[in-house]
């Protein structure tokens, strides 16, 4: 890519797409365009197009008329364990449709290079840790997100086989769990980290008896679970009922020091809290996506590519990557319980954390092996605690 290349970020309104747009503009790229489906992002200096990428005709029209040279495929239907387990048909259909339409259009209209964004949930539920790229399709997937994972695996294979049959320059990257500003804080559809931030924020407000603050939060961000329609902001009892449904409630406990009853707040989270997760700030992901687009081509990763002439050896990667797939992460993880306590302390919530073990945990561990991206010359910059503080401050202000 050069500074005058025409670059399309598909899904520019999402967490990942918006971060990639910001990174491209920060680096001085002059011809950045973006697509969105329904929620128009607030960017200055780029052209934005409303395109339903699940629609083949709309997708091909966009590629034919705009003729992007480079494409970041960041558009997807995403969500946490509850959303994945509830909207199974939507997750597999919409994500497969996006992949089919975009990847074929990129080939058909001569895109120079495409970067396909995936997810670490593509790997088997009980794969050895850390997860290497070659573990793809070596064992069964985690059932709670299998529809999404299958769609993302299909996108990886589409890129591979278009590369091998047509000589295209398509690369897939698999990021670990992401977080950052502009995340989704709807408690029904969000991922675990933004959900924890919001739950502990609401719990802190309840501790302080700040019902006006809770109502302000409910007005700003959708709650999910069909609760927005049931909420009566003029009645504090209605607010308490909603909070109880979300696992945030008063609990009468005995204060052992003073031997008297006091009202405290507890937060109940799904699962056991014992599963491990790795987290990457979305700005670091955007940085590595642009880095790969600037420095790596598909034929350098696999001998199966028709343009390959053993150049992949010059990249110093550990293994040949037949699926043109590179893991992106930090190479460290922690339990959900450890994460919850870190966020609890950052937010300033003083109450207790309980776990509903009748709810699913998901995959026991998803630590990525990031040795290949490190060998390519990239590593993360934003530490977890630093990033969490930034996101929480952004959430309060926005």
CATH of the domain at 321: 3.40.50.720
Per-residue pLDDT of the chain (398 residues; tens, 9 = 90+): 999 999 999 999 999 999 999 999 999 999 999 999 988 888 888 999 999 999 999 999 999 999 999 999 999 998 877 787 788 999 999 999 999 999 999 999 999 999 999 999 999 999 999 999 999 999 999 998 899 999 999 999 999 999 999 999 999 999 999 999 989 899 988 889 999 999 999 999 999 999 999 999 999 999 988 888 888 999 999 999 999 999 999 875 444 434 434 468 999 999 999 999 999 999 999 999 999 999 999 999 988 899 876 544 556 666 679 899 999 999 999 999 999 999 999 999 999 999 999 998 888 899 999 999 999 999 999 999 999 999 999 999 98
Residue-level pLDDT at 78: 84
Distance CA 246, CA 337 (A): 18
Residue 26 in any domain: the answer is yes
DSSP annotation string for 267-291: EEEES-S--EE-EEEHHHHHHHHHH
Residue 155 in any domain: the answer is yes
SS (HEC) of 158-188? HHHHHHHHHCCCEEEEEECEEECCCCCCCCC
Distance CA 127, CA 136 (A): 9
Residue 292 in any domain: the answer is yes
Residue 194 in any domain: the answer is no
The closest alpha carbon to 119, from 361, 334, 368, 299, belongs to 368
Distance CA 287, CA 353 (A): 35
Residue-level pLDDT at 82: 78
Residue-level pLDDT at 252: 55
Residue 374 in any domain: the answer is yes
Residue-level pLDDT at 363: 84
Residue-level pLDDT at 260: 39
Q: Is the pTM of this model over 0.85?
A: yes
Residue-level pLDDT at 84: 78
- Residue 123: count other Cβ atoms within 10 Å of its Cβ: 27
User: What strands, in cross-sheet order, belong to the sheet with 352-356?
Assistant: 248-255, 260-270, 352-356
User: How many structural domains is the chain composed of?
Assistant: 1
Residue 293 in any domain: the answer is yes
SS3 297: coil
SS3 208: coil
Residue 30 in any domain: the answer is yes
Which structural domain range is residue 123 located in?
A: 6-183+278-331+366-382
Residue-level pLDDT at 312: 47
List, by residue number, the catalytic residues: 148
Distance CA 397, CA 393 (A): 6
- Which tokens go with 106? 């990129």
Residue 235 in any domain: the answer is no
């Amino acid at each position: 890519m050069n500074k005058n290349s025409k670059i399309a970020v598909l899904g520019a309104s999402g967490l990942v797409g918006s971060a990639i747009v910001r990174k491209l503009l920060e680096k001085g790229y002059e011809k950045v365009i973006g697509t969105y489906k329904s929620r128009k992002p607030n960017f200055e200096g780029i052209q934005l197009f409303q395109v339903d990428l699940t629609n083949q005709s709309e997708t091909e029209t966009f590629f034919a008329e705009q003729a992007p040279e480079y494409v970041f495929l960041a558009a997807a239907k995403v969500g946490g364990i509850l959303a994945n387990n509830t909207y199974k048909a939507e997750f597999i259909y919409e994500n497969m449709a996006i992949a089919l339409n975009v990847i074929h259009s990129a080939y058909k209209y001569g895109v120079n290079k495409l970067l396909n964004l995936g997810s670490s949930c593509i790997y088997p539920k009980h794969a050895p840790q850390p997860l290497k790229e070659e573990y793809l399709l070596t064992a069964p997937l985690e059932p709670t997100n299998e529809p999404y994972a299958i769609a993302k695996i299909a996108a990886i294979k589409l890129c591979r086989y278009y590369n091998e049959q047509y000589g295209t320059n398509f690369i897939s990257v698999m990021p670990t769990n992401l977080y950052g500003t502009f995340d989704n804080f709807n408690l029904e559809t969000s991922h675990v980290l933004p959900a924890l931030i919001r739950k502990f924020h609401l719990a802190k407000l309840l501790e302080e008896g700040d019902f006006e603050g809770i109502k302000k939060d409910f007005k700003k961000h959708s709650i999910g679970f069909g609760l927005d329609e049931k909420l009566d902001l003029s009645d504090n009892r209605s607010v308490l009922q909603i909070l109880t449904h979300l696992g945030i409630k008063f609990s009468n406990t005995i204060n052992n020091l003073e031997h008297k009853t006091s009202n405290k707040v507890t937060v109940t989270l799904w699962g056991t809290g014992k599963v491990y997760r790795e987290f990457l700030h979305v700005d670091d992901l955007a940085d590595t996506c642009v880095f790969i687009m600037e420095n790596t081509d598909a034929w350098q990763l696999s001998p199966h590519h028709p343009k390959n002439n053993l150049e992949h050896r010059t990249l110093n990667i550990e293994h040949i990557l037949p699926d043109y797939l590179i893991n992106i992460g930090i190479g460290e993880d922690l339990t959900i319980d450890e994460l919850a306590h870190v966020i609890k302390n950052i937010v300033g919530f003083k109450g207790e954390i309980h776990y509903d073990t009748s709810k699913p945990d998901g995959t026991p561990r998803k630590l990525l092996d990031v040795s290949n991206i490190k060998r390519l010359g990239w590593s993360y910059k934003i530490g977890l605690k630093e990033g969490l503080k930034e996101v929480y401050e952004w959430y309060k202000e926005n």
